Each structure stands twice: as structure tokens, then as C-alpha cells.
Amino acid sequence: MILLKLFFAFFKIGIFSIGGGYVMLPLIEKEIITNHGWLTVAEFVDIVAIAEMTPGPIAINSATYIGYRTAGFFGSAAATAGVVMPSLLLVLLAASILKRFYQNEWVQAGFGGLRPAVVALITGAAIFIGRTAVTDLAAAIIAAGALLLLLKTRLHPILVLVLAALGGIIIYL
């Protein structure tokens, strides 16, 4: 029974959380703490911290961890499946519709407008995050160096991150 409750709790969160993982946090908090009492507020805050530190979307990481904490391995599978299912169904529906109409000039024109808008959204997010992350000259130098390495060389992004971390150790220690 707990597995179904986990699945449907996170399915509901997945349906009503348009806008990304951080939008889901208040819904997760209400559903998990208030409605079901599966975690305390302190446990929830710890889970959010862990979910932010690990690779992957925060909503999926949170669902996986909360599910595991609540009902073990199968709980993590149920919660993760629940939070992913609405997006999966929506993408499958959109793909089936787009497959039929992708060559349509109206659809192509729409994508012509979406592509630059996506670039603008990514740029806006980068500027927003940059204001928080680049707070001094050293951070600006590291950011500019990383950007130059990404644009001018064939270095793997993970290597650029490692080099930036090493630069931070050298500069800030």
C-alpha cells in the first residue's frame, strides 16, 4: 500500500510542477510532510541538500531519496516512477502529435521562434546564477577561463570543471 501511496503522491507532484525541480519543492514538502507525515521538516531539508549535491534533476533525486527513506528500494522506485511518469506521458503525447505535423509550416515557424527563446532562457539563467557565483575578480577570472577553454579547445566539460576547481584551490587557499 505504501508503494502505491508513494507513486501517486509523486505522480501528483509531477503533474502540477510545471517549471522544474525547484517549483516542486513546496509541493513535495506539503505532500510528504503535511499530508502523509513521512518525514520531518529537518529530514526534508537534509534530503533537499543531498538532492542538490548529487547529479541529476532535484525532483527525481528528492523522489528517489524520499521513497528510499520511506519504503526502501521499492519505495524509491515507486516515487521516482511517479514523479517521472507525467513528463514521460506528456513527451510521448507531444512526440506523437509532432510526428504527424512536424513538416507543417506553422509548426516549423513555431520552432523557429522557440529556438532563440530557449537560448534566451538559458542565457537568463546563466546571468542569474552568475550574479551569485561570480562575486569577485578571482571568480570572474575562473569563469572567463572556463568559458574560453570550452569555446576554444576540445577539452571535455568535466576536465574544465576539474581545472576550475584546481584554480579555485590555488586562488582561494
For residue 102, the 8-state DSSP code is: T
* 93 shares its domain with 118: no
Integer angstrom CA distances of residue 130 from 14, 119, 124: 28, 16, 10
More confident residue, 160 or 133: 160
172 contacts 138 by C-beta, under 8 angstroms: yes
Express each pLDDT in 108-130 by its tens digit.
998 899 888 888 877 887 887 78
What is the per-residue pLDDT for 148?
Answer: 96
More confident residue, 21 or 156: 156
Distance CA 27, CA 128 (A): 24
159 contacts 167 by C-beta, under 8 angstroms: no
Per-residue pLDDT at 18 exceeds 70: no
* 47 shares its domain with 121: no
Per-residue pLDDT at 92 exceeds 70: yes
* 15 shares its domain with 96: yes
Which residues form the domain of 54? 2-101
Domains held by the chain: number: 2
* 134 shares its domain with 80: no
Over residues 30-35, mean pLDDT: 90
